[in-house]
Amino acid sequence: MKTSYITQKVQQQIRDLADIARLLWERGWAESNAGNISIDISGMLKPFGSSNKQFPQRRMPKQYPELANAQFLITGAGTRMRDVAMQPTKTVIIIEINEDGSAYSMLQNNAETNRLLPTSELATHLTLYQEHRKQGTAIKAIVHTHPTEIIVLTHFPELLNEQTLNTTFWRIHPEALIANPAGIGLIPYILTGTEALAQATADSMQHHPAVVWEKHGCIAAAETISKAFDLIDVANKAAQIYLCCRNAGIVPIGLTDVQLEELKHTFGSPQQR
C-alpha cells in the first residue's frame, strides 16, 4: 500500500488498526482468520469517483446511500489478525463507495493486496456505518472478534437473556457498567456473513454500542478503534471473573441489589435507572 495517494493521516489509521489486530491475537480472540476490523477514513483521502478507471467497481447486493463516496480501511477476507498486526500493507484494503452507494472499488494498485477482497462481514460493517449515519451518531471504527469467555457464557442457557447477561456483568464487575452504561446487546445465533446477521446487529446497536453474537463472538462500534476494543475487553473481563468464580465452585452473587442500584444511579444511562 505504498502508493502516493495515501496520506499520513491514513497511514496512522493503518498503524492503529494493526495495533488492535495485535491485541486481538494476543488475547487469544483471533484464531486462524477469525475477526475483522474497519475504520471510516472518509475525508482523509481525495475521493477517486466512478469516472476513475484505475480501480474497477464491484456492485454490492444491497445499496448504502448514506455511505456515498465514503472510504474505509477494512481487513481482507481470510486474513489472520497476527498477519494484520505484522504486515498491514498486505492485509488491509482501502475501499471507496460509489456516488449512489451501490458499489465499491478497492483503492490499491499494490500487487500484495490486489488478490484480496474485503472481509466476508463487509455487509455487517457497511450496514452499521449506514445506520449510525442515519441516526447522526459518529462511529468511526468497528471491531469483530471472538472473545473466549463471552462466547462461553452464551453456552449457559440461563444467561441467554440480554438483561440477565448485563446484570450478571455489572454485579460481578462494576466497571462493565461504568465503561458501557447502555449495556451489551445479545442476539441469537445467525449464520456468519449474512444480511440477516448484519440487520440484527444494526437493530441491536440502536441501543448498545457492542453486541454479542450467540455462540460466535462480539462486535463493537465506537468513535475510535481503541474505544471499540475497550468495549469488548471490559465485557470479556466481566465474563472471565464470572467464569473464574464458577470454576472455583461457586455461583457468584456479586453486588447486592442496593449496591447495584447505587451503581446504576451514579453511572447508568437514563434507561437503566
Q: Quick one: cell of 26?
A: 494476543
3-state helix, strand, coil in the chain (%, to 5): 45, 15, 40
Stated as kind and residue range, the H or E segment containing 165 is helix 162-172
Q: Site map for Zn ion, 167-206, x if CB under 5 A?
A: ----------------------------------------
> For Zn ion, which stretch binds (CB under 5 A), given 24-32, 110-118, 195-203, 210-218?
210-218
**Is the Cβ of residue 23 or residue 241 nearer to Zn ion in the bound state?**
23
Near Zn ion in 113-132, by CB under 5 A: none
Nearest-CB residue to Zn ion?
Answer: 217
Which of 4-12, 23-31, 149-157, 217-225 is the region at the interface with Zn ion (rule: CB under 5 A)? 217-225
Give whichever of 88 and 217 is closer to Zn ion, judged by the CB atom: 217
- The stretch among 5-13, 131-139, 216-224, 232-240 that binds Zn ion (CB under 5 A) is 216-224
Query: Site for Zn ion (CB under 5 A): how many residues?
Result: 1
> What's the closest the beta carbon of residue 192 comes to Zn ion, in angstroms?
6
Interatomic CA distance for residues 68 and 84, integer angstroms? 27
Closer by beta carbon to Zn ion, 117 or else 260: 117
Instruction: Candidates 217, 218, 228, 235: give the one binding Zn ion (CB under 5 A).
Output: 217
Residues 6 or more apart whose CB falls under 8 angstroms from that of 222 comprise 139, 140, 141, 209, 228, 230, 231
Q: Do 60 and 104 form a contact (C-beta atoms < 8 A)?
A: yes
Residues with Cβ within 8 Å of residue 200, at least 6 apart in sequence: 187, 188, 190
Q: Cβ atoms within 10 A of the Cβ of 178, count?
A: 14
Q: 272 phi and psi, to 5 degrees?
A: -90, -10
- What is the phi/psi pair of residue 211, to 5°? -135, 135
- Please identify, among the stretches 100-108, 174-182, 215-223, 257-265, the one whose residues bind Zn ion according to the rule CB under 5 A: 215-223
- Where do contacts with Zn ion occur on this chain (CB under 5 A)? 217
